[in-house]
Amino acid sequence: MGNTANFVVTEALTNVAKDSGASQATVLVRADDAHGKLGLPPSSDDHRRVMAVLTWLRA
């Protein structure tokens, strides 16, 4: 993933954490929980987020 994409993902996590009052670690754990419920296996990249959106849109 490029530097711009990494920046966008980091900014998004920061904004969600700030808006919800949760830590970034908590946001990541909740995102992982959602990915698991969608049947998306653990991954070291951020493509699971794209796959999660596609899965949701197809439902």
Q: Is there a contact between 37 and 43 (Cβ–Cβ < 8 Å)?
A: no
1 has pLDDT over 60: no
- How far is the C-alpha of 23 from the C-alpha of 46, rounded, in Å? 19
2 has pLDDT over 70: no
11 has pLDDT over 50: yes
Total number of domains in the chain: 1
Residue 7's pLDDT band, with cuts at 50, 70 and 90, is: low
> Which pair of structure tokens corresponds to residue 18?
């700030």
46 has pLDDT over 70: no
Give 12-45 pLDDT, tens digit per residue: 778 888 899 988 888 888 888 887 888 877 777 6
Residue with tokens 């951020």: 46
Domain that includes residue 45, residue range: 3-58
